Amino acid sequence: MARTRGRSRRLVLPLLLALLLAACDGASSDEPAEEPTVVIETPPDDACRVLTPQDAQAGSNDTEIVDCDEEHTARTIVVDEFPAALADAAHTDPRLGQHVYDVCDRRFARVVGGDESVRMRSLLSWVWFRPSAPAWEAGARWFRCDVVGGTDTADTYRPLPATLTKILDDQPADWMACVRGPQVAGGPRIPCSQPHDWRAATTIRLGRADDPYPGDRLAEVRTRDYCRSSISAWLDYPDSYEFGFTWFGRAEWEVGNRRSICWARVEP
């Protein structure tokens, strides 16, 4: 009871102040509040933006478009509508991500080139956005996928080149992932053109498209064992060597990823 009275006392002063301000301004207290505008327009394709990893985590995005000849960290490669089967899906339905993964990963591959292993070992990735929750409620059903200059571990995104067409076909050192530091875990990904201690050398496929998720422990053990032999071969079977590995969990598996990354310790 005392807690309820305490809350009431704290509300008295702001309420009186608000009434006094309304009286001084001549505003009518019974006027209806103006509702915010809900934008449901489909965004343009092949647009460039300056995005950050924080933007990518937001789920929806309306960052200002910039000229692609100017500095930018993201470029749109897909704008499409969800299929009719997902028209009644909730805004956070995981099936949306599953649909997007198939569409956008294929388009990403066609744009940047390289094989699946090269793309996973690069500093390029893609992120996707859906309409805001109010726009979704109003009927917007589009999604947008952007290539970004960084991975999901990046603190910042790197500026993208003016063209992304087949950029990974030759595995350029500026866009392949390396790490500087005593271990891979926790180390920021940097371009292999910079001094580094670890290189993302190979990837390992842990299952087929229709395989169920093997569980965290088994995924980790398989990755470790496969990477041990894979990196040994990549280094031409030395007497001793160091390797690291990055494996992904259930969420990545459920949207389609079946690979882990193997890292080789290299001479600085």
Q: Length of the chain, please?
A: 268
> What CA–CA distance (Å, rounded) separates 229 from 238?
11
- For the chain, domain boundaries: 43-172, 176-268
Q: What is the pLDDT of residue 22?
A: 36
- Asked whether the whole model's pTM tops 0.95, one would answer no
Residue 154 three-state SS? coil
> What CA–CA distance (Å, rounded) separates 182 from 245?
14
Q: What is the pLDDT of residue 223?
A: 96
What pLDDT digit, counting tens, does each position of 209-243 carry? 899 999 999 999 999 999 999 999 999 999 999 99
Q: What is the pLDDT of residue 267?
A: 81
If one counts every other C-beta atom within 10 angstroms of the C-beta of residue 57, the result is: 9
What pLDDT digit, counting tens, does each position of 58-92 carry? 999 999 999 999 999 999 999 999 999 999 999 99
| Cβ pair 67, 49 in contact under 8 A | no
Residues of the chain falling short of pLDDT 70: 1-39
Which tokens go with 240?
């001793």
